[in-house]
């Protein structure tokens, strides 16, 4: 029973058809939460006593930084699935996750730089968290670049999976070594183990926005995965029937 559920994921067609609905719901959830969290965060949440209004970029910066790291982890999981079970969909997931994750990572770096100017007086400092985020962006770029160097998509997928896995094992080491090297960044805004230091009127919209960005990432992921499925399976009959139906 459980294995049957697992085997369904081996069929790109099954995924393409099912994911349409998931993508639809993820998109709506993202939109509603995003409007709610952003309006609350930008207009209703109280002003920070130290940073004034500039802290409000937190409602963008923290969710995208969260996701940039979470998506790399997701990519490593997909890499294991690809290398162990040789599932085509995992390869497509790696490809989509690399692009979406890289976008979130760049967004986190840019929003952090914009936040850094009023808070620290400079766009960029060589601080631990900034640096490890930059390295993360390089790792994402490496995976995107490696894929583009191959003609054979299957070979490209597996090479990327190996690289993603090595990167994922190395990432904690990079993080700790960079942290040891220099620490200036304010500690994490939200931790799972502790109660946040800010009032509920500040962190509830942040939590809403984190959920919103997760849903948005799922939406983007499914959208690009479905496109990639169509492109990979362009010679399959069901795709050609789909195309003919649209014409």
Partner 1 sequence: MDIERRIIAREWRLVMARPGDILKPMWFLLVVISLIPLALSPESSLLAEIGPALIWVATLLAILLNMESLFKDDFIDGVLEQWTFWPRPFAWCLAIKLLTHWLFQIVPLILITPVVGLMLAIEVHVIVVLLVTLLVATPALTCFSGLGGALTLGATRSSVLGVLVMLPLFVPVVILAAGVITRATDGAAVGPLMALLAAFSLAAGLFIPIAIAAAIRLNIGGST
Residues of this chain that bind partner 1 (CB under 8 A): 83, 135, 138-139, 141-143, 145-146, 148-152, 154-155, 158-159, 162-163, 165-167, 169-170, 173-174, 177-178, 180-181
Nearer to partner 1 by Cβ, of 77 and 198: the residue is 77
Q: Are 89 and 14 in contact (CB under 8 A)?
A: no
Q: Are 90 and 232 in contact (CB under 8 A)?
A: no
Structure tokens at 189: 């805004």
Within the chain, what is the greatest distance between any pair of CA atoms?
Answer: 62
Nearer to partner 1 by Cβ, of 32 and 155: the residue is 155
CB-facing half-sphere around the CA of 201: CA atoms within 13 A: 7
CB of 142 to partner 1, least distance (A): 4
Q: 31 burial class (0-12, 13-18, 19+ CB within 10 angstroms)?
A: middle
Q: Where are the alpha helices (DSSP H) in 182-199?
A: none
CB of 70 to partner 1, least distance (A): 19
Phi, psi of 193 (to 5 degrees): -90, -15
CB of 108 to partner 1, least distance (A): 16
CB of 145 to partner 1, least distance (A): 6
Nearer to partner 1 by Cβ, of 84 and 200: the residue is 84
Structure tokens at 196: 């946040």
Q: Where are the alpha helices (DSSP H) in 45-199?
A: 58-85, 88-120, 128-148, 153-181
Nearer to partner 1 by Cβ, of 178 and 228: the residue is 178
CB of 9 to partner 1, least distance (A): 22
Nearer to partner 1 by Cβ, of 152 and 247: the residue is 152
CB of 186 to partner 1, least distance (A): 22
Nearer to partner 1 by Cβ, of 35 and 155: the residue is 155
């Amino acid at each position: 029973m459980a294995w049957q559920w697992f085997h369904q994921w081996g069929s790109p067609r099954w995924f393409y058809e099912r994911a349409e609905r998931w993508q639809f719901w993820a998109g709506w959830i993202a939109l509603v939460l995003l409007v709610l969290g952003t309006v609350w965060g930008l207009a209703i949440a109280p002003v920070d006593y130290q940073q004034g209004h500039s802290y409000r970029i937190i409602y963008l910066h923290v969710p995208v930084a969260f996701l940039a790291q979470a998506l790399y982890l997701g990519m490593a999981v997909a890499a294991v699935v690809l290398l162990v079970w040789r599932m085509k969909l995992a390869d497509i997931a790696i490809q989509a996750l690399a692009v979406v994750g890289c976008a979130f990572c760049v967004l986190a770096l840019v929003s952090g730089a914009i936040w850094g100017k009023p808070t620290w007086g400079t766009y960029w400092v060589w601080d631990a968290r900034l640096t490890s985020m930059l390295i993360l962006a390089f790792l994402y770029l490496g995976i995107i670049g490696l894929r583009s160097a191959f003609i054979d998509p299957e070979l490209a997928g597996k090479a990327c999976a190996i690289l993603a896995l090595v990167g994922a094992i190395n990432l904690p080491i990079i993080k700790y070594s960079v942290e040891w090297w220099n620490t200036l960044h304010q500690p994490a805004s939200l931790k799972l183990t502790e109660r946040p230091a800010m009032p509920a009127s500040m962190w509830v919209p942040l939590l809403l926005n984190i959920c919103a960005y997760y849903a948005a990432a799922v939406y983007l992921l499914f959208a690009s995965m479905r496109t990639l499925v169509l492109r990979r399976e362009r010679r399959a009959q069901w795709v050609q029937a789909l195309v003919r139906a649209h014409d």
